[in-house]
Amino acid sequence: MRFRSSLQVPPVSYAATLPDASTATGRIPGNKAMWVGIFCEVTEFALMFAVYFIARAHHPEVFRAGPERLSLLAGTGYTLMLLTSGWCVARALHAMRAGRQKACLRWLLGAFVFGLGYPVIKLFEVRWNLANGLDGDAGVFIVTYYYLTFNHLIHVFWGLLGMIWVMLRTGTGSYSADEHSGLEAFACYWHATDIIWLMIFPLFYVLR
Amino acid sequence: MTEIRKLDLAWLGLVALSVIGATLGGRPDTGFGVTVLVALVMGLKVRIVCDRFLELPTARRGIRLAMHGFCYGMPVLVILTSAFGDTLARLTGALI
């Protein structure tokens, strides 16, 4: 019995497999300041989503017909670009934790290229929209859509600037396997921006 | 399975769910069931990003609760607005 119990491996939770998950109370991924920023971002978008739901409740037919007016291809393109960029950032963080700085920089470069795909698609989509008469006078659905998506675009721009910064820091050897909280804080912001897009996409491009 | 492999699978799953979501958007029918399905796909994608990319399972309880409240509140609101849109319009009539 004693022999058997000595062979038993204690159960390891998913949380425990990640770094710094040593306490039951959990940790602050990245740093506190970034989470203040993320919660400000979340609050801002929560208010804008409230406006969306109220407008939708008052104009259900307009919102039901709305997605047909937008390019589903562009919407799917944004989603795939941001998801792939987020995946590259997560891989970069894992590479840094493993002490592989060069691999981390390569993953960050990949994240930047895919992240840049978002404003590039936006440029083409806006031109397509305007050519199809979808401007600021095109009704409540389009106005809500521009308001939310342009606001999200600003957050993506901040993220891309942040990504340039963490790439420079990684390239100059400022992060190490032991200390890379700046990189982790950026990753949190980028994933939070990703999460908000994952909500915007179905609201405007899918839901009828 | 290594953490890296789980991360790669999470990304593949997210891509697949995005394609499913886009397919739902291309459908001409607009039943309540489709709305529920769209909300579920949204919730699932957000959950995967929270757990695998953002690593929320390791985060402090307050961060976890706030993010989960936001992430799961949205799909619920999508369903509620679809089911009780008239009530919401009546309650917010003074705002518009």
Alpha carbon distance A88, A90 (integer Å): 5
Give first-to-last CA distance, chain B, whole Å.
53
Each residue of B26-72: pLDDT tens digit? 777 668 888 999 999 999 999 999 999 999 999 999 999 999 999 99
Alpha carbon distance A113, A160 (integer Å): 10
Q: Give the other-Cβ count within 10 Å of B93's Cβ.
A: 11
Torsion region of B55: left, alpha or beta (phi above 0 gives left; psi -120 to 50 gives alpha): left
Contact of B14 with chain A, judged by CB distance below 8 Å, is answered with yes
Nearest 5°: CA angle at A152, between A55 and B30? 45
- The pLDDT tens digits along chain A (208 residues) read 444 444 444 444 444 445 554 445 689 999 999 999 999 999 999 999 999 999 999 999 999 999 999 999 999 999 999 999 999 999 999 999 999 999 999 999 999 999 999 999 999 999 999 999 999 899 999 999 999 999 999 999 999 999 999 999 999 999 999 999 999 999 999 999 999 999 999 999 998 8
A36 → chain B, closest CA residue: B63
Cross-chain CB nearest to A195 (options B7, B21, B49):
B49
- Put simply, the answer to whether A42 touches B59 (Cβ < 8 Å) is no
**Complex ipTM, two decimals?**
0.93
Alpha carbon distance A59, A201 (integer Å): 19
Alpha carbon distance A154, A140 (integer Å): 21
Exposed / middle / buried, residue A22 (Cβ in 10 Å: 0-12, 13-18, 19+): exposed
Judge contact between A173 and A146, C-beta under 8 A: no
Alpha carbon distance B10, B69 (integer Å): 22
Judge contact between A88 and A110, C-beta under 8 A: yes
Please identify among residues 33-92 of chain B the ones whose CB lies closer than 8 Å to any CB of chain A: 34-35, 38-39, 41-42, 45-46, 49-55, 57-61, 63-64, 66-67, 70-71, 74, 77-78, 81, 85-86, 88-89, 92
- Put simply, the answer to whether A15 touches B42 (Cβ < 8 Å) is no
Q: Give the other-Cβ count within 10 Å of B84's Cβ.
A: 13
Judge contact between B5 and B52, C-beta under 8 A: no
Judge contact between A37 and B79, C-beta under 8 A: no
Q: Give the other-Cβ count within 10 Å of A154's Cβ.
A: 9
Q: Which H helix or E strand runs over A151?
A: helix A140-171
A14 → chain B, closest CA residue: B57
Domain ranges across chain B: 3-94
Say what the pLDDT of residue A18 is.
53
Say what the pLDDT of residue B29 is.
65
- Put simply, the answer to whether B19 touches A76 (Cβ < 8 Å) is yes
Alpha carbon distance B71, B84 (integer Å): 20
- Put simply, the answer to whether A202 touches B55 (Cβ < 8 Å) is no
Alpha carbon distance A167, A183 (integer Å): 9
Three-class SS state of B59: strand
- The pLDDT mean for chain B works out to 91
